[in-house]
Amino acid sequence: MAKEKILFNRKTEEYQLHVDDSNSGKYLAAVIRDLTSRLLTEDDDLIVLCIGTDRCTGDALGPLIGSRLLEDGLLHVHIYGTLEHPVHATNLEETLAKLKERHKQAKIIAIDACLGRIDNIGRIIVGRGPLKPGAGVNKDLPPVGDLYITGVVNVGGFMDYLVLQNTRLYLITRLANVIAEGLAQGLASLALQRQVSPG
> Residue 87 domain-assigned?
yes
30 domain-assigned: yes
Q: Tell me the pLDDT band of 127, cut-offs 50, 70 and 90.
A: very high
What's the pLDDT band for 135 if we cut at 50, 70, 90? low
Q: Which of 53, 111, 36, 45 is nearest to 78 (CA)?
A: 45
Least confident range from 8-22, 60-74, 96-110: namely 8-22
Number of domains in the chain: 1
Check pLDDT > 60 for residue 198. Answer: no
CATH number at 43 reads 3.40.50.1450
User: pLDDT category, 137, cuts 50, 70, 90?
Assistant: low
Indicate whether 195 belongs to any domain.
Answer: no
Identify the domain containing residue 180 by its residue range.
6-190
Percent of residues, the chain, with pLDDT higher than 70: 91
Residue 85: inside a domain, yes or no? yes
Residue 144 falls within a domain, yes or no?
A: yes
Q: Is the dihedral of CA 34, 40, 46, 47 positive or negative?
A: negative
Q: Residue 197: inside a domain, yes or no?
A: no
| Assigned domain for 198 exists | no
Band (pLDDT 50/70/90 cuts) for residue 2 is very low
- Give the span between the Cα atoms of 16 and 125, in whole angstroms: 5
In a domain, 129, yes or no: yes
pLDDT band at 6 (very low <50, low <70, confident <90, very high): confident
The closest alpha carbon to 39, from 135, 113, 109, belongs to 109
CA distances (Å), origin 192, targets 166, 189, 197: 41, 5, 9
pLDDT at 199 over 70: no
CA separation for the pair 108, 113 (Å, rounded): 16
